């Protein structure tokens, strides 16, 4: 901060970074497996761990012991349809209660990860209908599935060049990722460079400029 007065200019020193104390770790991990029958398994895990003893209604959870350790498993097909689902809670704040309704997540069967999945999950399992943390965990699965499929189900395509004739039919379908984030908007420079076939032109985007 600068403070002006007649004949003087004062410049205050930058404040020091505050000291910090490590308190808590939340970890989310998703593993994807391609099955021999053509389906895919997604295994999502969430853990919460305190760095010191933590008092719960049922007693003290020791430092390093999970407050939450939960798993949500989905089986999907290559169209992102959920064909099987299950949930399990190994560490919870209220044993016998938090871990008593994993079968509720069978309601995910029949949903599609690419079409309104998060909204449907909240409708079926939000609030008192499910577990806050398992329902939050479900929200990371659409993009995790897309990343798992990349190079396996979805072949990478650099469309800065014209495809070979043999590949033309496969390339008639617009890449899934276009218009799903700011970087890959179809009127933006990244699409113009890497996917010119699908570039719509018109907009000029300046690096770092807000929308």
pLDDT tens for 124-166 read: 999 999 999 999 999 999 999 999 999 899 876 543 444 443 4
pTM: 0.76
CA distance 96 to 94: 6
Cβ-count burial of 109 within 10 angstroms (0-12 exposed, 13-18 middle, 19+ buried)? middle
> Which of the listed residues 122, 149, 176 is the one where a domain comes to its end?
149
162 falls within a domain: yes
List the structure tokens of 29: 């991990």
pLDDT tens for 48-62 read: 999 999 999 999 999
Say which CATH number the domain at 47 has: 3.90.1010
Q: List, in sequence order, every beta strand (DSSP E) within 35-131.
A: 40-50, 54-56, 59-61, 66-76, 82-91
pLDDT tens for 179-210 read: 888 998 999 999 899 989 999 986 544 444 44
> Which of the listed residues 118, 149, 180 is the one where a domain comes to its end?
149
Name the more confident of 172 and 29.
29
- H/E/C letters for each residue in 109-128? CCCECCCCHHHHHHHHHCHH
Query: In total, how many domains does the chain have?
Result: 2
Answer yes or no: are the C-beta atoms of 159 and 171 closer than 8 Å.
Answer: yes
């Amino acid at each position: 901060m600068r403070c002006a007065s007649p004949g003087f200019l004062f410049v205050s020193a930058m404040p020091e970074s505050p000291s910090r104390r490590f308190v808590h770790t939340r970890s989310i991990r998703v593993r994807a497996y391609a099955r021999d029958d053509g389906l895919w398994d997604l295994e999502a895990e969430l853990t919460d761990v305190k760095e010191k003893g933590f008092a719960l209604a049922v007693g003290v959870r020791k430092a390093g012991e999970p407050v939450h350790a939960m798993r949500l498993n989905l089986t999907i097909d290559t169209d992102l349809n959920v064909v099987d689902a299950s949930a399990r809670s190994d560490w919870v704040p209220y044993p016998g209660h938090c871990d008593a309704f994993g079968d509720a997540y069978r309601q995910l069967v029949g949903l599609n990860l690419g079409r309104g999945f998060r909204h449907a999950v909240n409708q079926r399992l939000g609030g008192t209908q499910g577990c806050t943390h398992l329902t939050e965990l479900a929200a990371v699965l659409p993009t995790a599935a897309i990343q798992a499929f990349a190079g396996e189900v979805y072949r990478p395509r650099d469309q800065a060049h014209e495809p070979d004739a043999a590949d033309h039919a496969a390339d008639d379908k617009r890449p899934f990722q276009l218009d799903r984030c700011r970087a890959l908007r179809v009127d933006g420079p990244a699409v113009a460079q890497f996917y010119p076939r699908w570039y719509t032109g018109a907009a000029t985007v300046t690096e770092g400029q807000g929308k």
